[in-house]
Chain A
Amino acid sequence: MTIAVDPGQAPRRRVLLGWGAAGACALLTLRPLSAQTTSAPTTPEAAALRAAVLAWTGGVTPRQGRLEIDIAPLVENGNSVPVALSMPSPMTAEDHVTAIALFNERNPQREVAVFHFTPRSGLAQVATRIRLATSQTLTAVARTSEGAFWSRDVEVIVTLAACIES
Chain B
Amino acid sequence: MARTLIHVPERARAGEVVELRVTIAHPMETGYRSDNEGRPVPRDILRRFSCRCDGELVFSAELFPAVAAYPYFAFHVRATRSASLSFTWEGDQGFAQTETRALVVA
Interface residues of A (CB under 8 A from B): 79-81, 84, 91, 104, 107-109, 111-123, 125-132, 166
Whether B72 pairs with A129 at a CB distance below 8 angstroms is yes
Contacts beyond the supplied A109-B66, A118-B58, A123-B17: 13 A-B pairs with Cβ under 8 Å: A79-B68, A80-B68, A80-B70, A108-B32, A112-B66, A114-B62, A118-B59, A120-B57, A121-B76, A123-B76, A127-B74, A129-B67, A131-B66
Q: Does B62 lie within 8 Å of A108, measured CB to CB?
A: no
Distance in Å: Cβ of A43 to nearest Cβ of chain B: 19
| Shortest Cβ-Cβ A-B pairs, 9 listed | A122-B17, A122-B78, A129-B68, A127-B74, A80-B68, A112-B66, A114-B62, A123-B76, A111-B64
Q: Is B91 an interface residue (CB 8 A)?
A: no
Q: Are A81 and B64 also in contact (CB < 8 A) when A120-B57, A121-B59, A123-B76 are?
A: no
Counting CB contacts under 8 A, is B75 at the interface?
Answer: yes
The listed residue (A109, A111, A121, A131) touching B68 by CB distance below 8 A is A131
Q: Which residues of A contact B17 (CB under 8 A)?
A: 122-123
Instruction: Let me know if B60 is at the binding interface, CB within 8 A.
Output: yes
Residues of B whose CB lies within 8 Å of any CB of A are 17-18, 30, 32, 36, 53, 56-78
Which residues of the other chain, A, contact B68 by a CB distance below 8 angstroms? Answer: 79-81, 128-131
- A128-B73 in contact (CB<8A): yes
Contacts of A116 in B (CB 8 A): 59-62
Contact B69 A113 (CB under 8 A): no
Query: Which chain B positions have C-beta within 8 A of A112?
Result: 64, 66-67
Chain A to chain B contacts (Cβ below 8 Å), 7 pairs? A121-B77, A127-B73, A127-B74, A127-B75, A128-B72, A129-B68, A132-B66
**A122 contacts B67, CB within 8 Å?**
no
Distance A110 CA – B71 CA, assembled complex (angstroms): 18
* Minimum Cβ distance to chain A for residue B21 (Å): 8
| A123, B20: Cα distance in complex, Å | 12
For the complex, give the distance between the alpha carbons of A80 and B70 in Å: 9
Contact B58 A120 (CB under 8 A): yes
- CA A117 – CA B77 in complex, angstroms? 10
